[in-house]
């Protein structure tokens, strides 16, 4: 399994953790080490973490996490690629690693245990209260009733869900307005022509037997990143049973027709005893 190679930014100070990157030259891919380690959907297995830091993280897993991140919006910059989520389960906030630092999120690292956690600004206090075992923190836990805790949790979840819905609504509105402006500028046909050209090129790569595996994999991932392509595949997959039944019915009809033709083939052609007289009588 192809591994990524460790590199260091030449412009960063020595010993700066953020300077460490991993690259896959064949795929033209580069990622920060911290962006991977803190990604919620990326788990470094024992096979990946062999102790050799110069060769680490398999390329397929990294590309899979990049694909997942394209569907997630950062709560700080509102751009896609936010694979790092808050450690609190009900919290839906996600960030890019550097955006999380800009938003004053709390980053907790335990390299020995392989733990890399992030708490958003709203839940920093919760993370510290979970870790602390001092007597000073105990009365706060005792005084707060379970009903109050449940109520606050529900309110927090509802509030954050409303924030997410509002952000998504704003994003959809921006996209609609942008496409309307493209249409007014006469660019809509050009956009769809470019999409068709891109799809034709992707089709050629997938149909070609000599396409390099890395390029084939990149093409497949790009297609699955497109919701339209995924929806078409899902529709085709869900209609598979109907297609099978349709073909089965066609086969039954063909089998029946074949049997009739075989029966006809095995039947002796009837010949009249007085062929000449019969023919002349009909066509006169």
User: Locate tokens 């009903």: which residue?
Assistant: 147
pLDDT in tens, 59-80: 888 888 888 888 888 888 888 8
Handedness of CA 52, 54, 60, 62 (dihedral sign): positive
Q: Closest by alpha carbon to 73, among 85, 90, 61, 87?
A: 85
Radius of gyration of the chain from Cα atoms?
32
pLDDT digits (tens, 9 = 90+) for 190-247: 888 888 888 899 899 899 988 888 888 888 888 887 777 777 777 777 888 888 999 9
How many whole angstroms separate alpha carbon 223 and alpha carbon 201?
12
Tell me the angle at which helices 146-184 and 188-207 cross, rounded to the nearest 10 degrees.
110
79-106 pLDDT tens trace? 888 888 888 877 888 899 889 888 888 8
Cβ contacts of residue 233 below 8 Å, gap of 6+? none
pLDDT at position 150 is: 39
Give the pLDDT of residue 137. 34
**Cα angle, residue 56 at apex, residues 50 and 58 outer, rounded to 5°:** 105
The pLDDT score that the predictor gives to residue 78 is: 84
Joined together, the tokens standing for residue 161 give 């869900």
Burial of 4 (0-12, 13-18, 19+ CB in 10 A): buried
């Amino acid at each position: 399994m192809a591994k990524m190679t460790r590199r260091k930014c030449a412009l960063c100070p020595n010993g700066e953790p953020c300077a460490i990157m991993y690259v896959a030259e064949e795929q033209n891919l580069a990622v920060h080490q911290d962006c991977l380690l803190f990604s919620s959907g990326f788990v470094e297995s024992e096979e990946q973490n062999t102790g050799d830091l110069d060769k680490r993280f398999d390329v397929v897993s990294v590309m899979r996490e990049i694909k997942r991140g394209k569907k997630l919006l950062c709560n700080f910059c509102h751009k896609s690629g936010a694979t790092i989520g808050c450690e609190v389960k009900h919290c839906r906030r996600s960030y890019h690693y550097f955006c999380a630092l800009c938003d004053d999120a709390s980053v907790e690292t335990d390299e020995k245990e392989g733990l890399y956690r992030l708490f958003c600004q709203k839940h920093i206090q919760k993370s510290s209260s979970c870790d602390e075992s001092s007597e000073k923190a105990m009365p706060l836990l005792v005084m707060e009733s379970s009903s109050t805790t449940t109520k606050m949790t529900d309110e927090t979840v509802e509030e954050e869900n409303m924030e997410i819905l509002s952000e998504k609504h704003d994003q959809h509105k921006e996209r609609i307005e942008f496409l309307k402006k493209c249409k007014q500028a006469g660019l809509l046909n050009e956009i769809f022509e470019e999409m068709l050209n891109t799809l034709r090129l992707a089709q050629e790569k997938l149909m070609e037997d000599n396409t390099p595996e890395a390029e084939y994999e990149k093409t497949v991932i790009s297609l699955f990143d497109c919701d339209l392509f995924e929806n078409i595949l899902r529709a085709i997959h869900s209609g598979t049973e109907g297609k099978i039944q349709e073909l089965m019915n066609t086969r039954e009809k063909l089998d029946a027709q074949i049997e009739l033709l075989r029966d006809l083939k095995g039947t002796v052609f009837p010949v009249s005893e007085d062929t000449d007289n019969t023919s002349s009588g009909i066509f006169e």
